[in-house]
């Protein structure tokens, strides 16, 4: 088994175990775990479903579109959980969820190791040390 397939399988297994233990009460975290339990493409898949759910193509979902989409994705939540989840995404209380906010909220947080690598790459590119990467920095 290739390393990426193995790590994908480990992630799926870990997420399924976490879901089974009822560890997190946060509705977004539970949805994230359900997506990731489908593998690395799980969040990408729900993004695709979001676009399909968006009946009027306005890049936002009202509650009925959201409810329909969750069922189509195969996530069967009781009405209370579904409303809780929708409210967690609807930060401004407008009654709709924005596509970009939806995906940002679902994306797992970056690990410290990954942030360290990003900072290291940024610092290497920032030749002048002014915390801004300019064309001059890139030219060397």
Number of structural domains (the chain) is: 2
Closest CA to 82 of 38, 28, 120, 124: 28
Any idea what the CATH number is for the domain that residue 11 is in? Answer: 1.10.238.10
Start-to-end CA span in the chain (Å): 41
Model confidence at 87: pLDDT above 80: yes
Question: Both tokens of residue 107?
Answer: 């994306």
Its domain, for residue 90, covers 2-108
Q: Read off the pLDDT band of 124 (50, 70, 90).
A: very high
Residues 124, 80, single domain; the answer is no
Residues 101, 116, single domain; the answer is no
Residues 61, 42, single domain; the answer is yes
Query: In whole angstroms, how far apart are CA 132 and each of 91, 109, 110, 116, 129?
Result: 31, 24, 22, 17, 8
Contact status, residue 50 vs residue 30, Cβ threshold 8 Å: no
Residues 94, 128, single domain; the answer is no
Residues 51, 85, single domain; the answer is yes
Using one digit for the tens of pLDDT, what is the confidence trace for 12-66?
Answer: 777 777 767 665 677 777 777 777 777 767 767 777 777 887 888 888 889 998 9
């Amino acid at each position: 088994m290739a390393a990426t397939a193995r790590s994908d399988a480990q992630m799926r297994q870990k997420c399924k175990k976490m879901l089974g233990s009822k560890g997190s009460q946060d509705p977004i975290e539970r949805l994230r775990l359900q997506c990731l339990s489908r593998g690395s493409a799980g969040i990408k898949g729900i993004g695709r479903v979001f676009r399909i759910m968006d009946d009027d193509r306005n890049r936002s979902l009202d509650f009925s579109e959201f409810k329909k989409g969750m069922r189509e994705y195969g996530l069967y939540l009781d009405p209370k959980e579904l409303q809780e989840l929708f409210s967690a995404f609807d930060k401004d209380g407008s009654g709709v969820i924005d596509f970009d906010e939806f995906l940002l909220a679902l994306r797992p947080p970056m690990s410290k190791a990954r942030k360290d690598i990003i900072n290291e790459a940024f610092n290497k590119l920032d030749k002048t040390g002014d915390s801004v990467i300019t064309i001059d920095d890139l030219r060397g």
